[in-house]
Amino acid sequence: MNASVEKPLDSSRSLQLLSEISGEEPLSQRELSRRLGIAVGLVNSYLKNLVSKGFVRVKNFPSNRYAYLLTPQGIAEKSRLAYQHLSYFTSLYTVARQDYLDLFHRLEDSGICEVVFCGVDEVAEVAYLSLQETGLKLVAVLDDARSGEAFFGVPVASMTEGVLLERALLVITSLKRRAELVQKLKDLGVAAGRVFVAGDV
């Protein structure tokens, strides 16, 4: 898939922090750390950066407590980042939708009737939408982390179980874990010719 739709982690974290800070309640670094699922030290680093840019100001409370408030520039930056991320997801959706549609049409034209999805996330959902525009049938979904769940009515199996489907072609349907899933299939002895990645020529 095109590198132009890769999302920068820093702007994502900044948007999350600015969104949390924009609420009514004053939040400590520890509380921000808990809400964002990142270390307190990392929160501190991001906050220092946002303060230095004038997006956030620090308010002192008695007993050495601090709260973080958005400045007018911070409100504008939050809106800018939100728009940037909306554009990113729109771009990701458009590119992924077309890449999977192209791949599925190629497979269909070569006489393939059934495919297996490997990896379950938001990209897998886009792939599933593209699949509906073809005559291909989704016969299995593999993802060790989601084994036992269902994906659009198809049970999710572990990758070890899935490789037993010897004739099925495997389509990587996660952008974030693409390399990891390809390597796992290789480690399980799946022939490279059975594994397909959307966007690859």
Q: Which of 36, 70, 104 is the last residue of a domain?
A: 70
88 within domain boundaries: no
43 and 108 in a single domain? The answer is no
Same domain, 135 and 176: yes
Q: What is the mean pLDDT of the chain?
A: 83
| pLDDT tens, residue by residue, 88-105 | 777 778 888 899 999 999
* 17-70 residue pLDDT tens: 888 888 767 777 888 888 887 888 888 888 888 899 999 888 876 665 677 888
82 in a structural domain: no
Mean pLDDT of 156-182: 83
- Residue 118: predicted pLDDT: 93
Q: Which of 70, 85, 112 is the last residue of a domain?
A: 70
Angstrom distance (rounded) from CA 151 to CA 139: 11
Edge-to-edge strand order for the sheet containing 154-157?
150-151, 154-157, 137-142, 114-118, 169-172, 195-197
Compute the half-sphere exposure of residue 61: CA atoms within 13 Å on the CB side of its CA: 8
83 part of a folded domain = no
Domain termination residue (choose one: 70, 101, 117) = 70
- Our CA dihedral for 5, 9, 11, 16, rounded to 10 degrees, sits at 120
Average pLDDT over residues 76-81: 87
| Six-digit token string for 125 | 């959902």
The total of other beta-carbon atoms located within 10 Å of residue 180's CB is 12
- Statement to judge: residues 26 and 109 lie in one domain: no
Domain identity same for 58 and 154:
no
Both tokens assigned to 133 = 């525009």
**Residue 159 and residue 65 in one domain:** no
Q: Same structural domain for residues 62 and 117?
A: no
Q: How many domains does the chain have?
A: 2
Whether residue 192 is found in the same domain as residue 98: yes
85: in domain: no
pLDDT at 3: 39
CATH code where residue 53 lies: 1.10.10.10
> Based on the domain organization, do 11 and 106 belong to the same domain?
no
Q: Quick one: pLDDT band at residue 199, thresholds 50, 70, 90?
A: confident
Q: Which residues of 60-89 are buried (b: 16+ CB within 10 A; e: fewer)?
A: eeeeeeeebebeeebeebbeebeeeeeebe
Specify if 76 maps to a domain: no
56 shares its domain with 134: no
Which residue segment(s) compose the domain that 113 sits in? 93-197
> Are residues 65 and 98 both part of a single domain?
no
